[in-house]
Amino acid sequence: MLIKQLLHSEPSDQEVVAQGWVRTRRDAKDFSFIELNDGSCLKSLQILASRNLADFDETVLKLSTGCAVRVTGKLTASPAAGQAVELTAGKLEVLGWADPDTYPLQKKRHSFEFLREIAHLRPRTNSLGAMLRVRSSLAMAVHRFFQEEGFFQVHTPVITTSDCEGAGEMFTVTTLSGTQLAHGNEPFAGDFFGRRAGLTVSGQLEAEALALALGRVYTFGPTFRAENSNTSRHLAEFWMIEPEMAFCDLAEDAALAEKFLRYLIRHTLDHCTDDLELFGKFIDQGLPERLAIVAGQEFARITYTEAVQILSEAKVKFTFPVAWGIDLQSEHERFLAEEVFKRPLIVTDYPASLKPFYMRENDDGRTVAAMDILLPGIGEIIGGSQREERYEILERRMLAAGLDLDTYRWYLDLRRYGSVPHAGFGLGFERLVQFVTGMANIRETIPFPRTPGHAEF
């Protein structure tokens, strides 16, 4: 049985089996106490191993952190505080030893930097294990939310020829060798796909085609960006959730995004109590309050122009000076969410020059129907927009962005045949996990992080 189930069982005469990894061993006169964890929950099961057990000296007394064991025994009421039951061992088998002289995880707390170097073993620590359970719970909640709201899950391609965000951050996918790539004018003509292909930076463009058939769709897939930013908020490989809705404008889009975020936070508060308690205690003491704010308070809404106004009047010296037309930096976003509004904030209507070609142009001709959601402690967690549904305007903006119209002919077609107002957004899954767990660095929110210079494991 899973330790999670055993911990909630009543003491009984029936034999049960627990399997897991030893966290600690403590020896008393007649007994050894072993803390056994199987990953099913944060708590460990206490094993009571009597000196009378067969092979006690060769097995129990040699157990160290990391050893894998199978214990058969009976659940007995525990006199110790903090646990209702413990397992009195009748039999203990060692499944796998872990040499204490070389096993890198010791009982003391290790730094996250060190743990990243042993990403294959760090899931066995309390904090990474808790993060992975919360991550799984959040993923389930994402699907539940969208199914309840009438969305269909769709799968968009991982290999693509369109650079959705137009920022040139695509990883190239090729079967050509370095020498083939170096020579010839159009090296990709002879490549696997006959032209330059890359790993997707967003499933949005394809999701739009599907929303204009099914009405409400969402994708939840891996996303890749070759941006050379070594920050605590960027990964080269991350997971993004992208809903897309037909017959929808920016205000409805923002309302759905707010409802979604609050649903997800509420879900973890209800379902991941033990794990969240650990984060609140050891990772970030302000966490419970921040989660309660997101779950309980309405998000503030301002336009980009209003944001710039507030920032330029603020009595704070920013590293990046503020003026209308600049891209809001992390320091600006966090100042707005943490100091000014002290709750999540939706910023809308950014300058067109800062945003990709597909966003709907506003009547003022200089801003677009964009929205970013900023969270205290994180900054941008969601980016979305109403899409340009008018053929001529979209074509003009694509040309201005220097896009090859032939590559995007199909995308323009969606505006030629039955075009309707539509909108969507993208939520960075790791940024969400980061917000919920309070982890300082996004590299602690995915099991095997990919960042510039790092693709180990």
280 or 426: whose CB is closer to ligand 4AD?
426
- 383 versus 424: smaller Cβ distance to Mg ion: 383
> Of the ranges 298-306, 336-344, 380-388, 444-452, which one interacts with Mg ion (CB under 5 A)?
380-388
Closer Cβ to ligand 4AD, 129 or 383, answer by number: 383
Number of chain positions touching Mg ion (CB under 5 A): 1
- CB 224, min distance to ligand 4AD, A: 9
In angstroms, give the least distance from the CB of 220 to ligand 4AD.
12
Rounded to an integer, what distance in angstroms lies between the CA atom of residue 169 and that of residue 162?
A: 11
Please give the backbone phi and psi of residue 373, each rounded to the nearest 5 degrees, phi first: -105, 125
Which string of x and - marks every residue 223-252 that binds Mg ion (by CB under 5 A)? ------------------------------
Rounded Cα–Cα distance for residues 429 and 138 (Å): 9
Reported residue count of the chain is 457
Q: Which option in Mg ion, ligand 4AD, none does residue 361 bind, with CB closer than 5 to 8 A by kind?
A: none
The answer to whether residues 113 and 242 touch, using CB atoms and an 8 Å cutoff, is no
| CA 353 – CA 388 distance, rounded (Å) | 15
Q: Whose Cβ is closer to Mg ion: residue 19's or residue 330's?
A: 330
Q: How far is CA 346 from CA 58, 305, 316, 435, in A?
A: 62, 13, 22, 16
Q: How far is the CB of 385 from Mg ion (least distance, A)?
A: 10
| Distance from the first to the final alpha carbon of the chain | 30
Rounded to a whole number of angstroms, the minimum distance from the CB of residue 78 to ligand 4AD is: 43
Among 356, 383, 384, 428, binds Mg ion (CB under 5 A): 383
Cβ-based neighbour number of residue 434 at 10 Å: 25
Residue 385 Cβ, how far from ligand 4AD at the closest point, in Å? Answer: 6
Q: Do 297 and 327 meet the contact criterion of CB atoms below 8 Å apart? A: no
Q: Which residues bind ligand 4AD (CB under 6 A)?
A: 164-165, 202, 204, 225, 227, 234-235, 238, 240, 242, 380-385, 424-426, 428, 430-431
User: Which strands sit side by side in the sheet containing 197-199, from one edge to the other?
Assistant: 159-160, 197-199, 172-173
The vertex-345 CA angle with 229 and 167, nearest 5°, equals 30
DSSP H helical segments within 272-376, as ranges? 273-278, 287-296, 304-313, 330-334
Residues 6+ apart with CB under 8 A from 53: 59, 60, 89, 90, 91, 92
Q: Which is nearer to Mg ion, 221 or 383 (CB)?
A: 383
Nearer to Mg ion, 35 or 165 (CB): 165
98 binds, among Mg ion, ligand 4AD, none (CB under 5 to 8 A by kind): none
Query: Residue 99 burial by CB count (10 A; 0-12/13-18/19+): exposed, middle or buried?
Result: exposed
Q: How far apart are CB 101 and ligand 4AD at their closest, in Å?
A: 38
Restricted to residues 10-39, the positions that interact with Mg ion (CB under 5 A) are none
Using the minimum distance from each CB to ligand 4AD, give the nearer residue, 88 or 437.
437
Identify which of residues 245 and 427 has a Cβ nearer to Mg ion in the complex: 427
240's contact among Mg ion, ligand 4AD, none, with CB below 5 to 8 A by partner kind, is ligand 4AD
Residues lying near Mg ion in the complex (CB under 5 A) are found at 383
